[in-house]
Amino acid sequence: MGRFLLKRILQGAIVVIGVTVVVFVVTRLIGDPVRVMLPLEATPEQRAAFAAQLGFDRPIYVQFFDFIGSALRFDFGNSLWQDRPALEIVLEALPRTLLLVGASMVLAVIIAIPLGILTSLRPGGFLDRLLVTLSLTGLSMPNFWLGLLLIVIFGVQLQIFPIFGSGTLAHAVLPAVTFALPSAARLVMLTRSAMIDELNKSYVQLVKAKNVPFRRLVGAHAFRNAAVPVMTMTGWEVIRALAGYSVVVETVFAWPGLGFLAIQSITRQDLILLQAIVFVVALMIITINILMDLAYKYIDPRIKLT
């Protein structure tokens, strides 16, 4: 167990350093940070002063080690846009994103697992075909469009929910649903196929032969085994949401989380803030990956952690 954790944390560290290196290469070698962060009309003197202030005039290898070193100390420097430590801004936005992603994943799981089990009991039946069609349709909608449709229907036409910003619980409903629906669609499909696989296994025949009630057969035997892939997928859904969908969905609803902050940092030409966001999100992804592995062991004691 201890060795496993150590190994995973080491792998995680490699990923974080990898992300940092990529960010450095892209922002310092492919792009010119001074050109990106200063307005077009800046004079050469202003540019030189800016470069000196942020250390962009030093040799590139000095900048590289300095960049990696300060990233690992969580010291990203001050945001240009808000003139305070970038990490501080990121840590303010992070809970809002986690709240949204957490709420929507709970919603997705509550919707998807019962529906997935239900459809698996009668593959090819009416309910099964209806849900599979609905899931496929849901998956085909771009999530920003789904969000805007919800805004048009529930915010503008019916005026049930507020449509922009945050503050009250009602503000979170539409963005959470926008996050949850595609995840729920994927989870329904997966739960369905995992359950169909389980129900066709021979131990189910044995359990049936022992006259165990059907509810117990499905819930305690088949689903317990199907839960492992379903959980993996849920973990991936969280990662997907953090690593990308949050940018789009939060921008649609002007929800002040990490994703919206990323877009704002680009429009404000604040590379320092963007770097801090990418770093923190990479850390989150690694943490979730490790937690997922630990959870497997808990659900299925046969799994050996190596």
Partner 1 sequence: MAQTVAAPGMATPGISRRFASVVGELWKDKAGFFGLIVMSSLILVALAAPLLAPHDPAAQSLSDRLVPPFWLEGGSLDHPLGTDNLGRDVLSRIIFGSRVSLIVGLGVVLIAGTVGTVLGLLAGYNGGRVDTVIMRWLDTQLAFPGLLLYLVILSVVRPSLLVLIVILPINAWMVYALLVRGVVLSAKETPYVEAAEIVGARPRRIIFRHILPNLAAPLLTLAVLEFASAILAEAALSFLGLGIQPPAMSWGLDVAIGREYVFNAWWLVTFPGLAIALTVLGANLFASWLRIVADPHEREKRFAAGLGSTGGRGA
Give residues 103-122 in contact with partner 1 (rule: CB under 8 A): none
Output 207 or 253, the one with its CB closest to partner 1: 253
Give backbone dihedrals phi and psi of 180, rounded to 5 degrees, phi first.
Answer: -75, -35
Query: Under the criterion CB under 8 A, does residue 281 sit at the interface with partner 1?
Result: yes
Q: What's the one-letter identity of residue 33?
A: P
Query: Under the criterion CB under 8 A, does residue 290 sit at the interface with partner 1?
Result: no
> What is the distance between the alpha carbons of residues 253 and 178, in angstroms, rounded to a whole number?
10
| The only residue of 101, 108, 272, 278 in contact with partner 1, by rule CB under 8 A | 278
Query: Under the criterion CB under 8 A, does residue 181 sit at the interface with partner 1?
Result: no
Query: Under the criterion CB under 8 A, does residue 274 sit at the interface with partner 1?
Result: yes
Q: Which ranges of the chain would DSSP assign to H, the alpha helix?
A: 2-24, 33-37, 44-54, 60-72, 86-121, 126-140, 143-150, 169-199, 202-209, 214-216, 223-240, 246-253, 258-267, 271-299
Query: Under the criterion CB under 8 A, does residue 137 sit at the interface with partner 1?
Result: yes
Instruction: Retrieve residue 129's tokens.
Output: 């075909």
Q: What's the one-letter identity of residue 8?
A: R
Q: Which ranges of 241-270 would DSSP assign to H, the alpha helix?
A: 246-253, 258-267
Give residues 224-253 in contact with partner 1 (rule: CB under 8 A): 233, 242-245, 247-248, 251-252
Tell me the site size for partner 1, rule CB under 8 A. Answer: 65
Find, among 253, 276, 251, the residue nearest to 264 by Cα.
Answer: 251
Query: Where does this chain touch partner 1 (CB under 8 A) — which range of 42-50, 75-83, 126-134, 197-205?
Result: 126-134
Residues 6+ apart with CB under 8 A from 234: 105, 108, 109, 183, 187
CB 255, min distance to partner 1, A: 14
Query: Under the criterion CB under 8 A, does residue 149 sit at the interface with partner 1?
Result: yes
Judge contact between 144 and 210, C-beta under 8 A.
Answer: no
CB 15, min distance to partner 1, A: 4
| The only residue of 34, 173, 266, 292 in contact with partner 1, by rule CB under 8 A | 266
Query: Under the criterion CB under 8 A, does residue 152 sit at the interface with partner 1?
Result: yes
> What is the distance between the alpha carbons of residues 282 and 12, in angstroms, rounded to a whole number?
9
Query: Where does this chain touch partner 1 (CB under 8 A) — which range of 8-16, 65-73, 88-96, 208-216?
Result: 8-16
Judge contact between 179 and 101, C-beta under 8 A.
Answer: yes
Tell me the per-residue interface mask from 67 to 106 with partner 1, x by CB under 8 A, - otherwise.
----------------------------------------
> What is the distance between the alpha carbons of residues 222 and 118, in angstroms, rounded to a whole number?
13
Contact footprint for partner 1 (CB under 8 A): 11-12, 14-15, 18-19, 22-23, 26-27, 30-33, 36, 123-124, 128-129, 132-133, 135-137, 139-145, 148-149, 151-152, 156, 186, 189-190, 193, 233, 242-245, 247-248, 251-252, 262-263, 265-267, 269, 271, 274-275, 277-278, 281-282, 285-286, 289
